[in-house]
Amino acid sequence: MDDSRRDFLKKASIASLGIAALPVLSAGVRAVSGHGAATDSIQWGMVIDVQKCDNKALADAAQKACHTEHNVPAVPADLKDEEIKWIWTEAFQNVFPEQAHARMAHKLHDKQVVVLCNHCDRPSCVRVCPTKATWKRKSDGIVMMDMHRCIGCRFCMAACPFGARSFNYSDPRKFMDTEKPANTLYPTRSMGVVEKCTFCADRIREGRQPACVEAANAIVPGAMVFGNVNDPESEIYKYLTENHTLVRQLNLGTGPNVYYKL
Amino acid sequence: MSDKGKIFLGLIVFIVAVTYPMWGGVFAKTPAPDVQLPDGKCIESRDYMVANHMNMLDEWRDKFVREGEEIYIASDGTEHAISLTKTCMKSGCHDNKTEFCDKCHTYADVDPYCWDCHVAPDQVAPKGGN
């Protein structure tokens, strides 16, 4: 031990500086590697054509297809705060607040835009979940829910900047027709859990398109495009490279995988 | 020490009252559940399923929901879809919750919350039927 006290303190302070700099450096690396870089892994994504989806019949059909398939309860209008929704519409200026300036085109004002969970690359809901009831699937990038594990703390709802999550304030079965779920092969939820869009994980497993995409495209072909955004051969990859699209709240850095074509 | 008798009497009453839950059932006549078993063979032996179905379902839900495994390979090598409603409770198997699941669960005084969410086929109309 030849080191003097002074040398030891010098080395210790350099080491602690290095440790403190680590998160900053790794964040920089993440920012450079960035959102949208092609990789081998699957990342499901969706394009919503805002013009083609500006159609109440289409939006209603997409929502009905989704909510019927997943037994999402139709909460009565007088309980608006308890509403449960996986896919719905919002006014343009609320979907893209950073795009809504004072001289925005009149046709965009109040235009109804279809919204759903963005299945983000870096989902804030997953970060805050204390039980890992919600997590990002490594196999295909879906932000999944495990209803068995959800304790209903609603941290994820506070963390999600898109309001994509709904809480079951009461037993959802009481809002279903004659207490009979529409799809007996899909579970309902119980009181006290949070639910949201799963990108139709069960349909994807069978090689089918999500219910909303199927319903929307049956009304207006090309209204929605769904696929693996990491696969250069996929329709959605080509669509995204050839068209200008927006994502919601890009500046927040969550990396949404639902894209909007204006 | 003239209260000896009273003390012993009180002690006996106390012991009888405290241990009643342990031996009280000896005299009770609760008939064993008469469970309706479906024809055919379950994915594992009867004894195994009676003892372990709850553990199997617990493992299944993590395998399917969290790990993405869809197929269970039974000890005899047969493959089954990992699903409570599509495998266990499919038509011809345990499609009657009231006569199968509930009989034993009521007898054993357990209240699993599977059906808070999962839909029992005998309790609802078929798909699209509401």
**How does the average pLDDT of chain B come out, rounded?**
87
Rounded to a whole number of angstroms, the distance from the CA of A141 to the nearest CA of chain B is 13
Strand partners, A88: A115
A105 within domain boundaries: yes
Q: Mean per-residue pLDDT for A42-48?
A: 97
pLDDT of A162: 97
Q: Is the pLDDT of residue B128 over 70?
A: no
Whether A165 and A217 share a structural domain:
yes
pLDDT of A168: 97
Whether A154 and A175 share a structural domain:
yes
Nearest to B119 among A139, A148, A181 (CB): A181
Mutate to test the interface with B, among A142, A168, A184, A188 (most CBs of B within 10 A): A184
Rounded to a whole number of angstroms, the distance from the CA of B50 to the nearest CA of chain A is 23
pLDDT of A153: 97
> A142 is in which domain, residue-wise?
42-261
pLDDT tens, position by position, A57-106: 999 999 999 999 999 999 999 998 999 999 999 999 999 999 999 999 99
**A224 and A48 Cβ atoms separated by less than 8 Å:** yes
pLDDT of A91: 96
| Confidence bin at B129 (pLDDT 50/70/90) | very low
Whether A109 and A179 share a structural domain:
yes
| Confidence bin at A202 (pLDDT 50/70/90) | very high
Of B85 and A29, the one with more pLDDT: B85
The Cα–Cα gap between A77 and A94 comes to 21
Whether A159 and A100 share a structural domain:
yes
pLDDT tens, position by position, B33-77: 888 788 888 999 999 999 999 999 999 999 999 999 999 999 999
Residue A115 exposed, middle or buried by CB count within 10 Å (0-12, 13-18, 19+): buried
- Residues of chain A above pLDDT 70, percent: 92
Residue numbers in A near B128 (CB within 8 A): 182
**CATH code at position A211:** 3.30.70.20
pLDDT tens, position by position, A79-92: 989 999 999 999 99
Rounded to a whole number of angstroms, the distance from the CA of B9 to the nearest CA of chain A is 50
Residue A74 exposed, middle or buried by CB count within 10 Å (0-12, 13-18, 19+): middle
pLDDT of A39: 66
Question: How many domains are there within chain A?
Answer: 2
Q: Is the pLDDT of residue A53 over 90?
A: yes
Q: Is the pLDDT of residue A5 over 70?
A: yes
A36 within domain boundaries: no
Q: Mean per-residue pLDDT for A28-55?
A: 77
Whether A12 and A106 share a structural domain:
no
| Confidence bin at A30 (pLDDT 50/70/90) | low
Residues in CB range of A6: below 8 A, 6 or more apart: none
- Looking at residue B66, the DSSP 8-state letter turns out to be I
pLDDT of B32: 81
pTM metric for this prediction: 0.81
Q: Is the pLDDT of residue A37 over 60?
A: no
| Cα–Cα nearest to A251, from A31, A73, A15 | A31
Cα A58 to the center of its chain, rounded Å: 20
User: Please, what is the angle between helix A211-219 and helix A56-69, to 10°?
Assistant: 150
pLDDT of A207: 94
- Residue ranges of chain B whose CB lies within 8 Å of a chain A CB: 61, 65-66, 68, 70, 85-86, 113, 116-119, 121, 124-130
Whether A72 and A5 share a structural domain:
no
| Confidence bin at A28 (pLDDT 50/70/90) | low
Whether A4 and A95 share a structural domain:
no
The Cα–Cα gap between A106 and B26 comes to 81
Taking an 8 Å cut-off on Cβ atoms, the answer to whether B127 and A185 are in contact is: yes
Backbone angles phi, psi at B21, to 5 degrees: -60, -25
Residues in CB range of B12: below 8 A, 6 or more apart: none
* Beta-carbon count within 10 A of A114 CB: 26
3-state secondary structure of A112: strand
Backbone angles phi, psi at B103, to 5 degrees: -50, -55
pLDDT of A38: 56
Whether A122 and A11 share a structural domain:
no
pLDDT tens, position by position, B113-123: 999 999 888 77
| Whole-complex ipTM | 0.76
Q: Is the pLDDT of residue A34 over 70?
A: no
pLDDT of B24: 78
pLDDT of A180: 64
Whether A50 and A98 share a structural domain:
yes
pLDDT tens, position by position, A140-160: 999 999 999 999 999 999 999
Nearest to A183 among B66, B116, B127 (CB): B127
Q: Mean per-residue pLDDT for A8-18?
A: 90
Say if strands A112-116 and A143-145 run parallel, antiparallel, or are unpaired: unpaired
Residues in CB range of B53: below 8 A, 6 or more apart: none
What six digits make up the tokens of A179?
């207490």
Backbone angles phi, psi at A238, to 5 degrees: -65, -40
Per the listing, tokens 């031990």 go with A1
Q: Mean per-residue pLDDT for B5-21?
A: 93
Whether A18 and A85 share a structural domain:
no
A37 within domain boundaries: no
Query: Helix H segments across A34-148?
Result: 56-69, 92-95, 124-128
Can you give A39-107 as a three-state secondary structure string? CCCCCEEEEEECCCCCCHHHHHHHHHHHHHHCCCCCCCHHHHHHCCCCEEEEEHHHHCHHHCCCCCCHH
